[in-house]
Amino acid sequence: MRLRTRVRQNRPADAPMAGDALASSDPAVRLAAGDLELPLPGHVELPAPARLALTAGWNLAESLGLPLIAYAVGERLGGQGLGMAAAAATVWLTAAIRKLVTGSIPGLLVISGLVLTLQAVLVLATGSVLLFLLQFPMANLALCIMFARTALTRRPLVAQLAAEVVALRQPSVAHPGLDRFFRKVTWLWAGIFAASAVGLVVLLAAEPTPVFLLLTTVVTVAGVAAGTLLSILWFIRTLRRCGLRVRFGHA
């Protein structure tokens, strides 16, 4: 009777076994039970912290800071009407300079220009105190419409602003998880501005003018702060679920 000897070969340490793809801790290849999708590898890129602060500060200064200074000067020289006109003119002048120098106009600058133009027209065309006060909820309504109309497109407004204001660079291959995030967070901002518009109308009907003007500032600042915080936390959660990492550029 002949006995056959079976030689068992040891598996190399780096050779994958069946099921390794499911057991791997790498989020780029792991598909845990119950997950809806397999995360794609990649990263998003931001400028170095110092350059990030400079980029964001510059965009906010030309879209919000310069118009505010122009309004203060105009209001001191000729009242609210001249102040609003000066603020709107400053934004569009800045936009024209941007177009000549860089060949493009940032979305935040366009939004600021449209809103300030709407407010200036209401103030200058009517001279009514009521319509002057209505400019605040109407501005929020206009912002709601701007965000909502882009939420279902390929370039949601929040994605455009992220690329321009903080120079966020997405993966070279479109990532479905990020696409969904930017659409949903654009709807979030549309909802914030809609809620602000409704709240300001209620305050306008219930409070005297000095109190309304004070509460307008509080509602606006609180809404923007809450939306920014929620957007950042949601973005971090989305990056983790999609297996993406943040990479900072060189200073």
DSSP annotation of 40 reads P
Q: What's residue 54's pLDDT?
A: 86
With beta carbons less than 8 A apart as the criterion, state whether 232 and 188 touch: no
Beta bridge partners of 247: 45
Amino acid identity of 218? V
- pLDDT tens-digit profile, the chain (251 residues): 444 444 444 444 444 444 443 334 444 334 333 443 444 456 788 888 888 888 888 888 888 888 889 989 988 888 878 888 999 999 999 999 999 988 888 888 888 898 888 888 877 877 677 777 888 898 899 899 999 999 988 889 998 888 888 888 877 667 788 889 999 999 999 999 999 999 999 999 888 888 888 888 888 889 989 999 999 999 999 888 888 888 887 65
* pLDDT 10s digits, 27-39: 433 433 344 344 4
Q: Which of 230, 234, 122 is nearest to 178 (CA)?
A: 234
Q: Which amino acid is at 79?
A: G
Sequence-ordered list of residues with C-beta below 8 angstroms from that of 114, at least 6 positions apart, any chain: 142, 146
Q: Identify the CA nearest to 106 among candidates 115, 118, 94.
A: 94
HSE-CB at 69 with a 13 A cutoff on CA atoms is 8
User: What does pTM read for this prediction?
Assistant: 0.71
Which pLDDT does position 172 carry in this prediction? 66
CB atoms within 10 A of CB 188: 18
Spell out the domain ranges in the chain: 43-127, 128-244
pLDDT attached to residue 43: 76
Tell me the C-alpha to C-alpha distance, in Å, between residue 21 and each of 17, 25, 28, 102: 8, 9, 10, 47
How far apart are the C-alpha atoms of 14 and 146, rounded to whole Å?
53
- Rounded distance between C-alpha atoms, residue 24 and residue 116, angstroms: 53
Tell me the CA distances in angstroms from 214 to 158, 194, 218, 219, one per residue in order. Answer: 28, 19, 7, 9
The reported pLDDT for the residue numbered 231 is 93
